[in-house]
Copies of this chain bind each other. A is one copy, B any other.
């Protein structure tokens, strides 16, 4: 049994939905379908979810929202017309939206219900379309499916009892179409996951039904081993592990909402990323474990916007608790640290620039000076991190050598290196303006 999730661009219009129907028909194992709301049909298009958010904001600001609603209705009308199915969804959306706005719910709950309308309506449309093709298919509301969530509007967390309920979907002998992005609290409130939450629904459902495979259909053929805006036509990754995916997505790979993978990861369900526009393509499969590869490096990721706080103190190394105190100061300001490379008497903490406002920086530096009495403290900006990622790296002599040599060839100074004892990745810190030449040089070293 497979769970297939189709993203916004895969359900953006009738033509895309026809491809989706073909994909579903192609494989009888595709029994549970999770869908996003219609996304962009062309680059300047507006996603239905964004239209619904704008609609809500207009309503809350006591502005006219009918124009936004009409655009949403028009999009669905175009779809039903081209698919040659009933257009009763138009009235349902209209009544639904008016009902939400007129309800006694809080603004946060109203917004979540509005946002969910895109997924919910599209699931109904797809189900009707599949039926019109003679398939046994049904729309299933997430509440009926058993997706119970916490009461955090806009960032629902799945409740564990959902999984047992979802497992019962295996008993159905029909194709079930579930809207992504939302669930219900125990007392029946509709709550959405964080943005991109249809991936989360797909992953939860795949874990719940103990799927053999969770297929995530998007608009790229596969995950590339390097950012294609830096290297032209890079190699595709056919298979990677959850850990590798995490390390890559951390530093700039945005194919997958990595939090979305947790349910699938915990239930050990393989995840396949495929292209709705090229379903015969291999795609990229994400698994727990894989066979050792001749080239252990699977990808090179990079991201900018990091800064380093550097602290040095003679004999720091003998001072029990120094590092812990430094991390406590950051934690008190709600700052996550990324890495902590260290010498004997110095310690750097790498953090995301976005997590350090000017005021936080002043407080942090003042506290470090006051509480840790260091010899020097300094902040280094405009850093980029490059991750060379691969699960087999821990048993291959010479990888660090090859990687560092690539930096030398690109004439880039390595500001920082950090490699965990797991060796799933090597991290290099460089000046942000040297990212492109560094990534190119690493790509040439490991993939050409």
**CA A434 – CA B328 in complex, angstroms?**
37
A339 in complex: contacting residue of B266, B342, B407, CB < 8 Å: B342
A325 smallest CB distance to B (angstroms): 9
Contacts known (A324-B328, A397-B408); A421 close to B339, Cβ less than 8 A:
no
A341 in complex: contacting residue of B334, B405, B418, CB < 8 Å: B418
A404 in complex: contacting residue of B401, B416, B423, CB < 8 Å: B401
Interface band, chain A: 35 or more
- A252-271 CB mask vs B (1 if < 8 Å, else 0) is 00000011001001100000
Q: Is the CB of A318 within 8 A of B336?
A: yes
CB-CB under 8 A from A323, the residues of chain B are 327, 337, 340
CB-CB under 8 A from A424, the residues of chain B are 343, 346
> Is A243 close to B, CB under 8 A?
yes
A420 smallest CB distance to B (angstroms): 4
CB-CB under 8 A from A315, the residues of chain B are 246, 258-259, 262
CB-CB under 8 A from A417, the residues of chain B are 400, 417-419, 426
Spot the interface stretch: A32-40, A306-314, A360-368: A306-314
> Is A78 close to B, CB under 8 A?
no
> Can you list 20 A-B pairs with a CB-CB distance of less than 8 A?
A310-B420, A312-B422, A320-B336, A321-B331, A341-B341, A341-B419, A344-B425, A348-B420, A348-B421, A394-B415, A397-B408, A397-B412, A397-B413, A400-B414, A401-B405, A404-B404, A415-B421, A415-B423, A416-B421, A417-B417
Contacts known (A344-B246, A419-B414, A420-B342); A320 close to B331, Cβ less than 8 A:
yes
CB-CB under 8 A from A433, the residues of chain B are none
Q: Is the CB of B343 within 8 A of A340?
A: no
A residues within 8 Å of B by Cβ?
242-243, 246-247, 250, 258-259, 262, 265-266, 308, 310, 312, 314-315, 317-318, 320-321, 323-324, 327-328, 331, 334, 336-348, 380, 387, 394-398, 400-401, 403-405, 407-408, 411-427, 429
